[in-house]
Amino acid sequence: MLDKQTVYKKQIQKHLYFGGELSCSDLSDLTEKSIPLTSKIINELIDEGSVIESGFANSTGGRRPQMYSLKSDVMYIVAVSMDQLVTRVAILDMQNNFAFPIENFELTLANNPKSLYQLLDLLKNYIQKSGIAKNKIVGIGIGMPGFVDIKKSINNTYLKPARGNVVSELESELGVPVFIDNDSSLVALAELKFGKARNRKNSMVINIGWGVGLGMILNGELFRGNNGFAGEFSHIPIFTNNKICGCGKSGCLETETSLLVIIDKAIKGIKEGKSTSLKDISMDHPEAAAHSIIEAALHGDSFSIDLITEVGYNIGRGVAILIHILNPELIVLSGRGSLAGRLWRAPIQQAINKLCIPKIAEDTTIEISQMNYQAEIIGTACLVMDQIDKRKFLLTHEKSLIS
C-alpha cells in the first residue's frame, strides 16, 4: 500500500534531479507542502542516504540557506535511444553521468517482426554486463521513432509485440518500470529540462537525423497533441518533387532534408566526379557516412558544406511554417545532425528571412544544442524521473524490489 510519505519522498527526489541543488524553501514551493514537513522528509532522505547537503546558496543578504542534492549513485536509469537503424543504450546516475559506457547496437526496425525481442535480449545482456543490481535501477526509458501512443504504451509503426503492448512485454521480462515516447519528443524534453530551452516558454526543438523530427514546447511544457502524435515535422507536404516518403506520401519535408538525403547526394556527387575529400561513403553504413560528411564539412570541404547548406535551407522552409503558426521565441537544432553546429544556422536563417513575415520572425532566435547526439539519451532519463512520483511507477518499482 502506497502512503503519502513515500510519494512525497519521490517528489523531492524528482525535483532534486531536475533542479540539481535546491533549498528546503525551494522544495516546499515546488511540492506545495509546508516547510516543516519538507524539512522532516529531507532529513529522512539524508538518513536513508539518498540526499546530501551540498553547501550553502550564494549570499543575497541575510542567512544563506542550506542546499540539497541527490546522491549520484542512489539509483540508476537505463536510457535507450533508438532510431530506424541503430539502438544506443547507456546507464545514467542521478547527475546524468554515464555509470556504464554507451553501447551501439545495429537493430533495424522497419520490416523486422523480431525487433522488440531483439531489443529485450540486448537490454538483458547490457544490464547484466553492467554489474548494477536490478534494485538500483529505478526504470528504463526508451525513445523511439514512429507513432508512439504513450497512453496505450504502443508504437503504431515499429516494435509490434506478439501480445500486450511494448511496455508490458518488456516489464514482464526485465522486472523494472519501462516508459516509452517518441524520440523527438524526448530530445525536446532534454532541452527543456537541461538544455537550451530551459526556462523558455515557447520553443521548437528540431531533431535532425534519419528524418527531421520536432518536439514542441508550448507555455513551458512539452506539447504532444491529442494522441501523442504532435510534431510530425518530417511529413509536412512541402515539395512537388514526386519523391515517395517513408510514410507513403510524396513531397514530404523529409524527402529533401534528412541525413539520408545528404548521404544519397554525397554518393551521387562523388560518382559524378565532384571535388571533395570524401571517400568510401556508402548507404550500407549510414552512421559512418553521416559522420564523415559532417566532419568533412567542419574541416572546410566545400562539397560537404554545400550539401548541408542545401538541406539546411529546406529545413528552414519548414521552420518558416512553424514560425507563422506558433510564433516561438526559440528554435533549437538538436539530435545527431546538430553535430554540424554553426553550418546549419546561416541557411536556415536565410530561408526564414526570405519566407517569413519579418515582424513575426524578428524575435525568434536559432540555437545549436550543446547536447548534440546525447540529447535523446538524456531525454529518456528525464522521461523516467518525471514519473517516479506517479502511482504506476511506484507500484511497478515496488514489485521489482520484492521479486
Q: What is the pLDDT of residues 176-215, one digit of tens each?
A: 999 999 999 999 999 999 999 999 999 999 999 988 999 9
DSSP 1: -
Hey, do 4-70 and 76-186+377-402 end up sharing a CATH topology, with the first three levels equal?
A: no
Look up residue 251 and give its three cell numbers: 513531397
Q: Which residue has the cell 515539395?
A: 239
Mean pLDDT of all residues in 271-291: 91
The amino acid at 28: S
d(CA 325, CA 10): 38
78 pLDDT more than 60 = yes
Looking at residue 326, its pLDDT comes to 95
125 pLDDT more than 80 = yes
59 pLDDT more than 70 = no
* Other CB atoms within 10 Å distance of the CB of residue 101: 9
Q: What is the pLDDT of residues 355-376, one digit of tens each?
A: 999 999 999 999 999 987 899 9
Asked if 285 contacts 293 with a C-beta cutoff of 8 angstroms, the reply is no
The pLDDT-based confidence of 398 (bands split at 50, 70, 90) is low
**CA end-to-end distance (rounded Å), the chain:** 16
* Other CB atoms within 10 Å distance of the CB of residue 295: 15
Q: What is the pLDDT of residues 330-358, one digit of tens each?
A: 999 999 899 999 999 999 999 999 999 99
Q: What is the pLDDT of residues 204-257, one digit of tens each?
A: 999 999 889 999 999 999 998 887 788 889 999 999 999 998 888 999 999 999
Mean pLDDT of all residues in 103-123: 94
172 pLDDT more than 70 = yes
DSSP 363: T
Mean pLDDT of all residues in 11-22: 94
**Does the predicted model carry a pTM greater than 0.85?**
yes
59-68, 95-104, 228-237, 393-402, range with greatest mean pLDDT: 95-104
DSSP string for residues in 281-348: --TTSHHHHHHHHHHHHHTT-HHHHHHHHHHHHHHHHHHHHHHHHH--SEEEEESGGGGGGGGTHHHH
d(CA 356, CA 253): 17
Give the SS3 label for residue 213. strand
Which residues have CB under 8 Å from 241's CB, separation 6+? 250, 251, 255, 256
d(CA 30, CA 8): 11
Looking at residue 164, its pLDDT comes to 87
> Which CATH number applies to 4-70?
1.10.10.10
Output phi, psi for 85, to 5 deg: -125, -35
Q: What is the CATH topology of the domain spanning 197-370?
A: Nucleotidyltransferase; domain 5 (3.30.420)
d(CA 300, CA 325): 36
Give the SS3 label for residue 217. strand
Q: Which class does domain 76-186+377-402 fall in?
A: alpha beta
Where are the chain's structural domains? 4-70, 76-186+377-402, 197-370
